[in-house]
Each structure stands twice: as C-alpha cells, then as structure tokens.
C-alpha cells in the first residue's frame, strides 16, 4: 500500500507557458509541467525522488512527511513494535 501525502502545493504560471510547482513545507520539492495535470503528476514524482534522496543520504524524513507515513501504515508500525516485519 502506497502512502498518501497531503501537502500544500503552489502552482505558478510561467510567462512562456506551463507551471512551476513548489511546496512551502518541503523546499526540496520543485518541478514543472506544461499543464496543471502534468505539473501535479510531476509533483508526485518529485516527492518520491525527495523521499528517496533523504533515505539514500541517511537523513531523517522531514516531520511533515513522518506523520503521513505512520498514518498510511498503522498495522506495520504496530507489528514493527513487536519485532515483526
């Protein structure tokens, strides 16, 4: 089951067309798209890349995402507390 994150996104229309997407709570998340839908899809991909980068660097996941991860996997968290995976 994939985690679901609810984060505020800012879509800025660009003069040459398309949109730039940023997240005020996660400054590393920045992407773009030619349409709103493409920009939102790219934001999802960018979020995945940000999370993977944190994991690859051994850095803790930002607190804004930790709550969403715990909420998405309540059973795993419960089992992990018993030493099960």
Domains with residue ranges and CATH for the chain: 10-80 (3.30.160)
Q: What is the model's pLDDT at position 62?
A: 87
Distance between CA atoms of 62 and 26, rounded to whole angstroms? 8
Q: Are 71 and 1 in contact (CB under 8 A)?
A: no
Give me the tens of pLDDT residue by residue for the chain, a chain 85 residues long: 467 788 899 999 999 999 999 999 999 999 999 999 999 999 999 999 999 999 999 999 888 887 655 444 444 433 333 433 3
Quick one: how far is CA 31 from the chain centroid?
12
Q: What is the model's pLDDT at position 75?
A: 43
Q: Is the pTM of this model over 0.85?
A: no
């Amino acid at each position: 089951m994939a985690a679901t994150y609810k984060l505020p996104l800012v879509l800025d229309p660009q003069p040459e067309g398309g949109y730039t997407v940023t997240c005020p709570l996660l400054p590393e998340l920045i992407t773009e798209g030619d349409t709103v839908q493409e920009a939102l899809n790219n934001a999802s991909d960018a979020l995945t890349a940000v999370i993977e980068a944190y994991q690859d660097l051994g850095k803790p996941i930002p607190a804004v995402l930790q709550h969403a991860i715990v909420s998405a996997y309540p059973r795993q968290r419960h089992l992990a507390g018993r030493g099960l995976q």
